[in-house]
RNA sequence: UGGGGAAUAGUUCAACGGUAGAACAGCGGACUCUGACUCCGUUAAUCUAGGUUCGAAUCCUAGUUCCCCAGCCA
């Protein structure tokens, strides 16, 4: 290998980019054209994001282009709603197909013409066998299939039959057009695959114009060729379709010679990335819709507050290879936190309020304190927060009988109220059942703003909101849909986690949060990243937890090592 | 008993015959007006057995394990 080649190699990040690079370098292609080819039969999910980032990413990196092409060859499953949602999601992810929006249905006439071409070449025939007969004669994984009794029809008869199929003369399932390849092939895809089936259905784009529809295998590669796709990138399960892909390309007068490459699809712990299951979750009412924030759909992640750059970063981190794998969901959370940490403004919110009365603070007095919007970014500015005699703190930030490593509030202990004062817990008030309902504390006026002139330190800083000014809010805490890291997709309903959604009805927010209208993520200090949900009503905002902050204390306390 | 693929730290990827490296997770520490962030340190891997070679994760042979394929779905 020359030094020059070594230098080039270093920019390759995965085996597909290596192939693209080699093809460009060797002159096999002068430019790169890829495509993202969704079937509009469901919403896009994080697994599709991998393919989207790969296809659009490669096009961008190598100065080529990427088409968005709907693989709309099965009108019984496809809907306009999905077509619209897919475009919205790809755009939101940050990719632009420009004017290159296509549909396999754009090529129906050309594909049909090529079907007649195959018949005339003696390479396709109309089969009258029933579905059951075809299955029976296809053979098994270990036994070869048998030729159809209709395999040797004349060109004239085949042409006539195909034309009558197109004209709608036959009912669904009566006949199919098959390629004449090899019924004894070890590769079942080559045992005379179906090219066209009769489907009396309404297509979102072509309406009732067509009575026959091409199969995936017959449509996909030819669509690639028509669009001059150079690298047709798909997932592993299509690996043994490649010989068929190539067979069509070699036997048809196509305008270009695309090549198919396969990579391993994404799998993640605690979720299921299968359109069938996701569809089942929606139609079965297990979730609130395709954009339920617990869903791994792009729409769901967006509603949960995940920024598109976090998804792109995650996809970049997991890489591309041919080995099946399951990515730890913690890796996704990391990308989300990393993206949000940079941009999310800091705010204070108390999820589970515990009232605190500051006994030595003048009754009726209110003052304004400065709070940074982003401690690591002075450019984000600051805001005023109101402080008064009665405040709320987080119930989790108080323990009557704390273990040794509990730094927060407990009887006699002094802590800092973020951006405000040091307070010391003097008294614990309980109700009849023994539940702590209020804390009586004192504050040190000299610590205004959060620093003690005498230099004394406190172990903890806790968040708070002014009771008189706080806005009551609903906060939705999301946890994985499946507690099981590898749920059984075949039995997904039984696998659903009962704690995937926890709704808090009486959270208290600092007023600045009620004013926020944008969907930008905010950090509730010490709690996590949240975003305002569209269900918000005037005076009663609703927030979704996008992801919690890393919580070392939770780990320590859960381990009983306190 | 068919065809097509894949095996490297707990996880996901690198290493393209020449020192097995990163990220996430874990563990320990520093810093801190977020038990966050950041920083530092650290645990931890080539499926097995042969062979070729000065040298093998990489090449060869034989195994093992896992995944995909028998839709008129994609």
At A472 the pLDDT is 97
Q: Kindly tell me the number of DSSP H helices and DSSP E strands found in chain A.
A: 16, 25
A325 touches strand B (CB under 7 A): yes
pLDDT at A156: 98
Query: How far, in Å, is the CA of A10 from the C1' of nucleotide B53?
Result: 27
Q: In this predicted model, what pLDDT tens digit does every residue of A458-495 receive, in sequence order?
A: 999 999 999 999 999 999 999 999 999 999 999 999 99
The model's pLDDT over A320-355, given as tens digits with 9 standing for 90+, comes to: 999 999 999 999 999 999 999 999 999 999 999 999
CA of A104 to C1' of B24 (A): 39
Nearest nucleotide from residue A263 CA, by C1' atom: B5
Model confidence band, residue A518 (pLDDT cutoffs 50, 70, 90):
low
Nucleotide nearest to A342 (CA to C1'): B37
The predicted structure's pLDDT at residue A515? 79
Is the model's pLDDT at A5 over the cut of 50? Answer: no
> What is the average pLDDT across A79-90?
98
What pLDDT does residue A517 have? Answer: 65
Class of domain A349-463: mainly beta
**How confident is the model over A49-72, as a mean pLDDT?**
98
The distance (Å) linking the CA of A561 with the C1' of B43 is 21
Q: Residue A181: enclosing H or E segment and its boundaries? A: none
Mean pLDDT over A419-423 rounds to 98
The set of long-range contacts for A527-532, using a CB threshold of 8 Å and a minimum separation of 24, is A527/A349, A527/A351, A527/A463, A529/A305, A529/A336, A529/A337, A529/A340, A529/A344, A530/A305, A530/A349, A530/A475, A531/A304, A531/A305
**Which pLDDT score is estimated for A9?**
44
Task: Write a three-state SS string for A50-64.
Answer: HHHHHHHHHHHHCCC
- pLDDT value at A516 more than 80: no
The CATH class given to the A275-346+473-557 domain equals mainly beta
A561 pLDDT tier (thresholds 50, 70, 90): very low
User: Above 80 in pLDDT, residue A512?
Assistant: yes
Tell me how far apart the alpha carbons of residues A125 and A252 are, in angstroms, rounded to a whole number.
15
Q: Indicate if the pLDDT at residue A260 is higher than 60.
A: yes
Residues 482-541, chain A: which have Cβ under 7 A from strand B? Answer: 523, 525-526
Contact, A545 CB vs strand B, < 7 Å:
no
A186 Cβ contacts chain B strand, under 7 Å:
yes
Q: Give the per-residue pLDDT at A560.
A: 55
Q: Which of A202-216, A282-296, A327-341, A547-561 has the lowest mean pLDDT?
A: A547-561
A318 touches strand B (CB under 7 A): yes
Which residue is the nearest neighbor of B22, CA to C1'? A317
Residue A265 is a catalytic residue? yes
Distances (CA, A) of A92 to A56, A83, A302, A312, A384: 13, 14, 9, 11, 34
Q: Which nucleotides of B are covered by protein (CB under 7 A)?
A: 1-8, 10-17, 23-27, 33-38, 66-74
Band (pLDDT 50/70/90 cuts) for residue A520 is confident
Q: How far apart are CA A226 and CA A156, in angstroms?
A: 28
Residue whose entry in the numeric block shows the structure tokens 């059951």: A132
A144 touches strand B (CB under 7 A): no
Task: Quote the pLDDT of residue A336.
Answer: 98
Average pLDDT (A67-84) is: 98
Nearest to A95 by CA among A104, A86, A84: A86
Say yes or no: Cβ of A270 under 7 A from any atom of strand B.
Answer: no
Q: Which nucleotide is nearest to A178 (CA to C1')?
A: B72
Mean pLDDT for chain A overall: 95
Residue A425, both tokens: 């817990």
> What value does the mean pLDDT take over residues A159-179?
98
Spatial separation of the C-alpha atoms in residues A337 and A528, rounded to whole Å: 9
Interval A184-202 mean pLDDT: 98
Is A275 marked active-site?
A: yes
Cα separation, A205 vs A202, in Å, equals 9
In order of A47, A307, A321, A535, the CA distances from A335 in angstroms are: 16, 10, 20, 26
Give the residues across from A197 on adjacent strands: A176, A213
Query: For helices A108-120 and A216-226, what crossing angle results, to 10°?
Result: 110
Domain ranges of chain A: 28-263, 275-346+473-557, 349-463
- Exposed e or buried b for every residue in A379-406, given b needs 16+ CB within 10 A? eeeebebbbbbebbbbebbbbeeeeeeb
The answer to whether A201 CB sits below 7 Å from nucleic acid chain B is: no
Please report which helix (H) or strand (E) contains residue A475, including its range: strand A471-478
DSSP per-residue string spanning A112-165: HHHHHHHHHTT-EEEE---HHHHHHHT--SSS-----TTTT--HHHHHHHHHHH
- Statement: residue A80 has pLDDT above 70: yes
Q: Residue A99 catalytic?
A: no
Q: What confidence score (pLDDT) does residue A456 get?
A: 95
Would A28-263 and A275-346+473-557 be classified into the same CATH topology? no
ipTM of the complex: 0.98
Output the pLDDT for position A6: 37
Catalytic residue among A77, A257, A265, A440: A265
SS3 state of residue A108: helix
Distances (CA, A) of A285 to A9, A289, A463: 50, 8, 37
Tens of pLDDT, residues A205-241: 999 999 999 999 999 999 999 999 999 999 999 999 9
SS3 A314: helix
Using a 7 Å CB cutoff, list residues 23-82 of A near strand B. Answer: 37, 39, 71, 73-74, 77
Give domain A28-263's CATH number out of 3.40.50.620, 3.40.50.970, 3.40.50.720, 3.40.1190.10: 3.40.50.620
Share of chain A above pLDDT 70, in %: 96
pLDDT at residue A438 above 50? yes
């Amino acid at each position: 290998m020359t030094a020059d080649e070594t230098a080039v190699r270093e920019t390759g990040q995965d085996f597909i980019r290596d192939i693209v690079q080699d093809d460009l370098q060797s002159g096999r292609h002068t430019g790169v054209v890829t495509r993202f080819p969704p079937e509009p039969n469901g919403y896009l999910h994080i697994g599709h994001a991998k393919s989207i980032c790969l296809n659009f990413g490669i096009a961008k990196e190598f100065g080529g282009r990427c088409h968005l092409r709907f693989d709309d060859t099965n009108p019984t499953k496809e809907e306009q709603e999905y077509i619209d949602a897919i475009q919205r999601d790809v755009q939101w992810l940050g990719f632009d197909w420009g004017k290159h929006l296509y549909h396999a249905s754009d090529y129906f006439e050309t594909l049909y013409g090529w079907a007649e071409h195959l018949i005339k070449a003696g390479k396709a025939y109309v089969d009258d066998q029933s579905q059951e007969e075809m299955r029976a004669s296809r053979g098994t994984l270990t036994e070869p299939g048998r030729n159809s009794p209709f395999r040797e029809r004349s060109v004239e008869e085949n042409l006539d039959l195909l034309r009558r199929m197109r004209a709608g003369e036959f009912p669904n399932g009566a006949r199919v057009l098959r390629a004449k390849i090899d019924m004894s092939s070890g590769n079942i895809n080559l045992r005379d695959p179906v090219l066209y089936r009769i489907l009396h259905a309404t297509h979102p784009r072509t309406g009732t114009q067509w009575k026959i529809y091409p199969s995936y295998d017959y449509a996909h590669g030819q669509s690639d060729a028509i669009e001059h796709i150079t690298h047709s990138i798909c997932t592993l399960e299509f690996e043994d379709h490649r010989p068929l892909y190539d067979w069509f390309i070699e036997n048809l007068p196509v305008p270009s010679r695309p090549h198919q490459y396969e990579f391993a699809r994404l799998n993640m712990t605690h979720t299921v990335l299968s359109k069938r299951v996701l569809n089942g979750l929606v139609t079965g009412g297990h979730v609130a819709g395709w954009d339920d924030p617990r869903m791994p759909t792009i729409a769901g992640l967006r509603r949960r507050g995940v920024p598109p750059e976090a998804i792109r970063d995650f996809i970049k981190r997991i890489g591309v290879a041919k080995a099946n794998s399951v990515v730890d969901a913690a890796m996704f959370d990391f990308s989300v936190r990393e993206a949000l940490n940079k941009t999310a403004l800091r705010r204070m919110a108390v999820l589970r309020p515990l009232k605190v009365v500051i006994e030595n603070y003048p009754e009726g007095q209110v003052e304004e304190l400065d709070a940074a919007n982003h401690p690591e970014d002075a450019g984000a500015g600051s805001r005023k927060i109101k402080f008064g005699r009665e405040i709320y703190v987080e119930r989790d930030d108080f323990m009557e009988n704390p273990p040794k490593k509990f730094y927060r509030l407990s009887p006699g202990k002094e802590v800092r109220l973020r951006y405000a004062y040091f307070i010391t817990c003097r008294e614990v008030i309980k109700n009849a059942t023994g539940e702590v309902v209020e804390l009586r504390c004192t504050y040190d006026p000299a610590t205004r703003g959060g620093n003690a002139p005498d230099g004394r330190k406190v172990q903890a800083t806790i968040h708070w909101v002014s009771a008189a000014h706080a806005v009551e809010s609903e906060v939705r805490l999301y946890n994985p849909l499946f507690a099981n890291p590898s749920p059984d997709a075949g039995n997904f309903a039984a696998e659903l986690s009962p704690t995937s959604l926890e709704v808090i009805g009486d959270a208290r927010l600092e007023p600045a949060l009620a004013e926020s209208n944008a969907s930008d993520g905010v950090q509730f200090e010490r709690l996590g990243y949240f975003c305002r949900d569209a269900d918000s009503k005037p005076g009663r905002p609703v927030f979704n937890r996008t992801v919690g902050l890393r919580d070392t204390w939770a780990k320590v306390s859960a381990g009983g090592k306190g």
